[in-house]
Amino acid sequence: MNKKERVERAERAKGKKAALGEDIAIENFTAGKEHEEHEPLNSLDEFPEKYQQDLLNAGIEPSEKGRSGSFLQRDCSVVFSAAKFPGLEIKSTTDALKEHDWL
């Protein structure tokens, strides 16, 4: 599926009713460019202390022990991305689409 087809498919899906849970009004959300950019982190340990438990609850291990890689996005900003396994790529969807034409 090329970019044009993906955009057309997304447009058609806007009005689709949710199969599970509540429907959302997509028009209440804004594009990422209007949001504050967050500074990238060198380590997940740098994430504010008050949110460390939230990371754990979401399945993100701040120490990165026992992980092949980690990815953390805050709002529209990728604040942390690290791959520890050779050949593993961890990146935003935007970056992946730019780098891999087969996606």
What percent of the chain has pLDDT above 90? 36
What is the chain's mean pLDDT, rounded? Answer: 87
pLDDT at 80 over 90: yes
Identify the residue whose tokens are 């950019």.
Answer: 37
Give phi and psi for 68, each to the nearest 5: -80, -20
Q: What is the reported pTM? A: 0.63
Q: What is the pLDDT of residues 21-46, one digit of tens each?
A: 888 888 887 765 666 788 899 999 88
What does the radius of gyration of the chain's CA atoms come to, in whole angstroms? 17
**Domain layout of the chain by residue ranges:** 31-99
Alpha carbons 61 and 54: distance in angstroms, whole number: 10
Cβ contact 78:72 at 8 Å: yes
